[in-house]
């Protein structure tokens, strides 16, 4: 079935709201990670877990707010609840792997590239699991080159965010990093769409 797809059925409202949610999740998560790294008396596992949950939930929320604006004229859209919840779990767990890796091992090139790669693949997996949750009268087809580009954007964004999480200590630089991360996460989503 050929359908008329509209990714912006509410205009700029959903992309702007989605971007804000990605930035808020990133800002809170980055501040938690910074707290775990620069405060010797902090409970490191708790701060890293909270950071991972914040970033993962921010990414997931960004995705589904953006999906509110996604319409197919010829079909109603529903979501499989199990796959939707699984996509949230994947986002939190995989971001957690990256955050804990850099939180405990630092920003060596090897750790950063490995953790960024795993986290980026997890973000992409969350996105495409969320897309797999879509139920409509028809099917969704992907262009492999565009999917590959969206995965690459996710890996680069995740690596940059993890680097920022352990390399940036000031509030304003952390805020700037979260704004950039919001652009990267939104860019990955809309590229994949």
Please tell me the predicted confidence (pLDDT) of residue 50.
94
Q: Work out whether strand 78-79 and strand 5-6 pair parallel, antiparallel, or are unpaired.
A: unpaired
Where in the chain are the domains? 5-192
Per-residue pLDDT reduced to its tens digit, 60-98: 999 889 888 877 777 788 889 999 999 999 999 998 998
Per-residue pLDDT reduced to its tens digit, 96-114: 998 899 888 877 889 889 9
Q: Is the dihedral of CA 117, 91, 187, 128 positive or negative?
A: positive
Question: Partners of 70 in the beta sheet?
Answer: none
Token code pair at residue 15: 């992309």
Please tell me the predicted confidence (pLDDT) of residue 5.
65
Per-residue pLDDT reduced to its tens digit, 155-173: 998 888 788 777 777 777 7
Q: Which burial class, exposed, middle or buried, applies to 87 when counting CB atoms under 10 A from its CB (0-12, 13-18, 19+)?
A: buried
């Amino acid at each position: 079935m050929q359908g008329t797809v509209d990714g912006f059925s509410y205009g700029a409202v959903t992309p702007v709201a989605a971007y804000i949610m990605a930035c808020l999740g990133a800002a809170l998560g980055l501040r938690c990670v910074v707290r775990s790294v620069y405060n010797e008396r902090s409970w490191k596992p708790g701060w890293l877990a909270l950071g991972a949950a914040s970033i993962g939930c921010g990414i997931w929320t960004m995705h589904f707010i953006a999906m509110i604006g996604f319409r197919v004229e010829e079909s109603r859209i529903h979501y499989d609840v199990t796959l939707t919840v699984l996509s949230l779990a994947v986002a939190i767990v995989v971001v957690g792997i990256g955050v804990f890796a850099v939180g405990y091992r630092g920003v060596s090139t090897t750790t950063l590239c490995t953790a960024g790669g795993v986290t980026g693949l997890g973000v992409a997996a969350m996105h495409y699991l969320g897309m797999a949750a879509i139920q409509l009268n028809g099917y969704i087809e992907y262009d492999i080159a565009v999917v590959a580009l969206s995965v690459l954007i996710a890996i680069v964004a995740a690596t940059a965010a993890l680097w920022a999480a352990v390399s940036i200590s000031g509030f304003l630089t952390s805020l700037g990093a979260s704004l950039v991360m919001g652009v990267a996460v939104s860019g990955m989503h809309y590229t994949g769409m």
